[in-house]
Amino acid sequence: MSELWITLNDIPEEGKDLVFDDQSFWTETMKDCNVDAEIAAPLITEVFILPQDNGCLVRGKTSGAIKLVCDRCTADYKQNISTEFEEFEQVADAEDTEPSPVVKTKEGLKFELGALLWEHFVLALPIKPLCSNGCQGLCDKCGADLNKDGCACKKEEGDPRLAVFRNLKIKN
């Protein structure tokens, strides 16, 4: 995946606001991670970085929109993305099993922001993508898009809420 390295020595003690608007970070990472989506409105990340001993505090948000495929009607739709995050990251110590995004180099501490942006982007994705909460989906018999014209088979099925009564056996 794409990486975004920040040299913490370049950030003043009182912190600094940064904006990341390079869309290739998102398009390349989506490709690498097999996320099948296109950008519908630029994904912009604004972060505030505050250097700390051995690491930094990072607070920010990513917003924009991507094109997803609706799980019910299979149409493309625009999914707004908006995610906020706040993390404290520091150089891994001997006990840490996970690698840290903050590493010590000859030029001082460097922080890799890309993985964190991606992690929060993925968390902001819907578990079940829907073009709208009320999407009617496709007819399971003829495949017609029920958001548009509906179809003939719908009438035959009747009101699904009444199906339970149709199966009742009447005792004589």
Q: In 3D, which of 18, 7, 3 has the Cα closest to residue 107? A: 7
Q: Is 136 in contact with 146 (CB distance < 8 Å)? A: yes
Minimum CB distance to Zn ion, residue 70 (Å): 3
Provide, rounded to whole angstroms, the least separation between the CB of residue 121 and Zn ion. Answer: 22
**How many helices (H) and strands (E) in the chain?**
4, 7
Pairing of strands 55-69, 38-52: antiparallel
Our CB check for Zn ion shows the closer of 42 and 150 to be 150
CB burial of residue 105 (10 Å; 0-12, 13-18, 19+): exposed
Q: Which is nearer to Zn ion, 115 or 139 (CB)?
A: 139
List residues binding Zn ion (CB under 5 A). 70, 72-73, 131, 135, 139, 141-142, 144, 151, 153
Q: Which is nearer to Zn ion, 37 or 102 (CB)?
A: 37
Rank residues 106 and 155 by Cβ distance to Zn ion and give the closer one.
Answer: 155
Please report how close the Cβ of residue 27 comes to Zn ion at its closest, in angstroms.
25
Supply the minimum distance, in Å, between the C-beta of residue 115 and Zn ion: 32
- Grouping H, G, I as helix, E, B as strand and the rest as coil, residue 139 is coil
